[in-house]
Structure 1
Amino acid sequence: MDPILTIYGRKDCRLRCPAVVRRAIRKGVPYKYVDLDEHPEDAQQLRKRLNGEAELPICTYGDDLWTGVNFDKIDAISTADSRLKTAS
């Protein structure tokens, strides 16, 4: 199974989380959005993986994990996966 970009956010993340989602859409990167307010078990697992320190959004792609807005990571996914159509 191919990895998918998973974007974790919260309802009060009104600027950065939507910006990452928009970038994934613009670059044609398939993604899943998980609201951590609705999935506290995911929040707990992420806290453990990140040693309790993180900023939203939190993103995973395969084994890769990062926090905050990192458009370069999304662009790299788009560029590396030849099956995706990238927007100019």
Structure 2
Amino acid sequence: MEPILTIHGRKDCRVRCPAVVRRAIRKGVPYEYVDLDENPEVAEQLRKRLNGAAELPICTYGDDLWTGVRFEKIDAISPTQLKTAS
């Protein structure tokens, strides 16, 4: 099973988080959006993994984890990687 891009954000992230979601949509990258306000346990896990502070959004793809707007990371997820073998 291929990894999925997970975008973690908060309700007050009104510019950066939507920008990353739009980039994923534009590039055809399937994603899941996790609202950290509604999932405090996920927020705590990410805080521990990142040793405290992090800027939003926080994104994961497989074992890769990054914070902030990193379009190059999304662009590197090629649509051919996402297709399953027939």
Instruction: Give the alignment's TM-score, normalised by structure 2.
Output: 0.92
Name the structure 1 match of 2:2: 2
CA root-mean-square deviation: 1.2
Name the structure 2 match of 1:55: 55
Give the letter aligned to residue 8 of structure 2.
Y
Q: 1:65 to 1:76 in 2, by over 3 A?
A: same
> What CA distance in whole angstroms lies between the structure 1 residues aligned with 2:4 and 2:48?
21
Task: State the 4+ residue runs in structure 1 displaced beyond 6 angstroms.
Answer: none
Give the letter aligned to residue 2 of structure 2.
D
Which runs of 5 or more residues in structure 2 are unaligned? none
Name the structure 2 match of 1:26: 26
Which runs of 5 or more residues in structure 1 are unaligned? 84-88
* Count of matched residue pairs: 83
